[in-house]
Amino acid sequence: MTEDDLDRNRRHFLAIATAVTGAAGVVAVAVPFLSSLKPSARAQALGAPVEVPIGSLQPGEMIRTLWRGKLIFVLRRTGVMLSHLQNHRDKLRDPDSEVVDQQPEYAVNETRSVRPEYLVVEGSCTHLGCAPLDQFEIRPADAWDGGFFCPCHGSKFDLAGRVSKGVPAPTNLRVPPYRFVRDDLILIGQDTGAA
């Protein structure tokens, strides 16, 4: 073996040793962090379902919460909002929620929801993951029926989280698994497989 070979082997060994030490450091930091959380917070950090009380949510209002580190929107739609959902089907890329990965089967319907009044979607633009802004005001002059606007590259979604044609986002906002525990309580992250 030449001097060059020995040098190369030494560098290779050092690179592996550094990576292993770094990974061990991450685990060592993560374990105390998780064990410092209360049991419920720890379960949530690890992906447990999240309860969202909706008893005081008024029509037209939206709650933001986190599940598995993802932003989740829970919007209580008004009757007017719902009545505008069918106005712009021809401007939507996937009006009938045919991309199966973007919602559970029980959300493949006109409102993409278990109960028409409540929209539950991930607040993550399907282009590159920015958080879309709510633009719920209906503006007939701009042919805008209310929805979400992603300021990063201009993607638009309607009040069912359906993406417009001609924007960078390829698919509708994703609907997470969820179910109604009671009329005033939604559980995000767990369902019964049916509405």
Q: Return residues touching ligand FES (CB under 6 A).
A: 125, 127-128, 130, 150, 152-155, 168-169
- 82, 111 in Cβ contact below 8 A? yes
Of 57 and 173, the one with the shorter C-beta distance to ligand FES is 173
Number of residues assigned to the chain: 195
Of 44 and 124, the one with the shorter C-beta distance to ligand FES is 124
CB of 34 to ligand FES, least distance (A): 30
- 171, 163 in Cβ contact below 8 A? yes
CB of 144 to ligand FES, least distance (A): 17
Give φ, ψ of 97 to 5 degrees: 55, 55
Of 78 and 155, the one with the shorter C-beta distance to ligand FES is 155
Query: How far is the CA of 13 from the CAs of 16, 23, 42, 181, in angstroms?
Result: 5, 16, 37, 55
CB of 24 to ligand FES, least distance (A): 35
CA dist., res. 160 & res. 81, Å (int): 10
CB of 36 to ligand FES, least distance (A): 33
CA dist., res. 195 & res. 192, Å (int): 8
Query: How far is the CA of 155 from the CAs of 64, 65, 99, 170, in angstroms?
Result: 20, 22, 18, 9
Of 103 and 124, the one with the shorter C-beta distance to ligand FES is 124
CB of 72 to ligand FES, least distance (A): 17
Of 60 and 168, the one with the shorter C-beta distance to ligand FES is 168
